[in-house]
Amino acid sequence: MAAKDLGKPWGGRFSEGTDELLERLSASVGFDRRLAPYDLEGSQAHARMLGRVGLISAEESTLIVRGLDELRKRVAQDRFQWDPRLEDVHMNLERALVDLIGPAGEKLHTARSRNDQVALDSRLYLRDMARRAGSELRRLRAVIVEKASKAKEAPMPGYTHLQRAQPVLLAHHLMAYYQMLTRDQARLGDLYRRLDCMPLGSGALSGTGLPIDPQMVAESLAFTRLAENSLDAVAGRDHLLEFISFGAILMINLSRLAEDLVLWCSQEFAFAELPDSLSTGSSMMPQKKNPDGAELMRGKSGRVLGNLTALMTVVKGLPMSYNRDLQEDKEPLFDTVDTLLLVLPVAARLVEGLKFNYGRLREAADDPYAPATDLADHLVRRGVPFRQAHRQAGEAVAYAVRNKKALVDLTLEELREFCPEAGPEVRAEMTLPAMLAARVTYGGTAPRSVARQLRAARRDLAAELRKGAV
């Protein structure tokens, strides 16, 4: 293939040039150029292998590897001239290689298709991005643990239906997000293990009849497994779907955290405040202090959900094996990576910067009617069937509301009008410290349970760091 024909990988089959509109539709170099470092890395491994097995000479192999090193420098220094007429990142780099080193560059594509080439590039790229996202996610989890530790035994109201339900420790609430994000981390780790599969050697779809050594390429690129099926290797995009799915679930969890931050920092809740550096003002109202970072974190979840829907829609109707529709896999992937790597550090900064109003939190936690469940539990311990205990406690609450009293302020005699089995210790059991201390079940909000959660989290984070886990 002459260097001037490198923009036409279909070679001599066609007598006419490509229509300009089709060229514009086909061009992907505007976005897939970010795969260049990974394409160069894979090409160098491929060139070394071709030289080792004798498909090209040792001298040609060395010349190609050195030429690719030069292209790597140009890309890194933003000196590479991208040509949209050459369609994609692969053809741009190959054309530049031939221009740089001459005919030896035309041998690089021996025993390789752009189909298995891009399959390799995407795995190398995603492996790198998964490590980066995993590092940022682990830092956010560590920030949450540190924030929860500083909260010590500060109480706050727990909510269901956004109505005050039962008191919990602030640390317990924060650690709920730690658990969500820990599952996200595990999902990313599972994906990372499945990325450990080297597809190069699958060719366009059926492998190659040339005597290559894919195991050598795999080892040089730190893969431990080869693709078991060449059709699947070039057509499969579930690793990209899995990453974007991980990103979508993560963003949903972060959106829920953001919603809590927005509520907590409102004047109606007044549970917390963000520092000025993490807030914005109004163009019209001088008094405003807006939690825009949290709101944007919440809003960007929709972006990643859209990326997942887009790629699932592209893949769902494709026959085996490679189809050009799969060019549409990259923009949703790249956008998801960019969004996660932007949002995760912001989330960590927001949590780190929160200043809690512990007095307001305690006041809200000490709700006049929150002890109703503890009253029912007290009656159950004294032999009253739960349904009866529930009804009696509800009647006591209704009486307290009518008389504008807190439940804990009712006298024993008043309580026994509705709860005849109530014992003398019941009022002590309905105080805020007692209610918190009572939730000793595994995973509950009792101080000793939360302390265990914090110890386990620190231990797990330290172990992940020691292992170098994603």
Euclidean distance between CA atoms 249 and 304, whole angstroms: 9
218 and 127 Cβ atoms separated by less than 8 Å: no
Structural tokens at position 19: 């229509």
Residue of 61, 109, 161, 172 with catalytic role: 161
DSSP state, residue 168: E
Indicate if 46 belongs to the active site. Answer: no
Neighbours of 84 (CB within 10 A): 14
Specify whether the backbone of 208 is left (phi greater than 0), alpha (psi in -120 to 50) or beta: beta
Residue 143 φ/ψ, nearest 5 degrees: -65, -40
Euclidean distance between CA atoms 56 and 107, whole angstroms: 7
**Burial (Cβ within 10 Å: 0-12, 13-18, ≥19) of residue 455:** exposed
Give bridge partners of residue 168 from the DSSP assignment.
156
Residue of 57, 135, 206, 282 with catalytic role: 282
Euclidean distance between CA atoms 396 and 373, whole angstroms: 11
Residue 278 φ/ψ, nearest 5 degrees: -110, 20
Report helix, strand or coil for 167: strand
Give bridge partners of residue 355 from the DSSP assignment.
273
Indicate if 161 belongs to the active site. Answer: yes
461 and 142 Cβ atoms separated by less than 8 Å: yes
DSSP state, residue 280: B
Euclidean distance between CA atoms 225 and 288, whole angstroms: 56
Neighbours of 198 (CB within 10 A): 27
3-state percent helix, strand, coil for the chain, nearest multiple of 5:
65, 5, 30
Using N-to-C axis directions, what is the helix angle for 114-151 and 36-53, rounded to 10°?
A: 130
Structural tokens at position 432: 């805020």
Q: Which residues are catalytic?
A: 161, 282
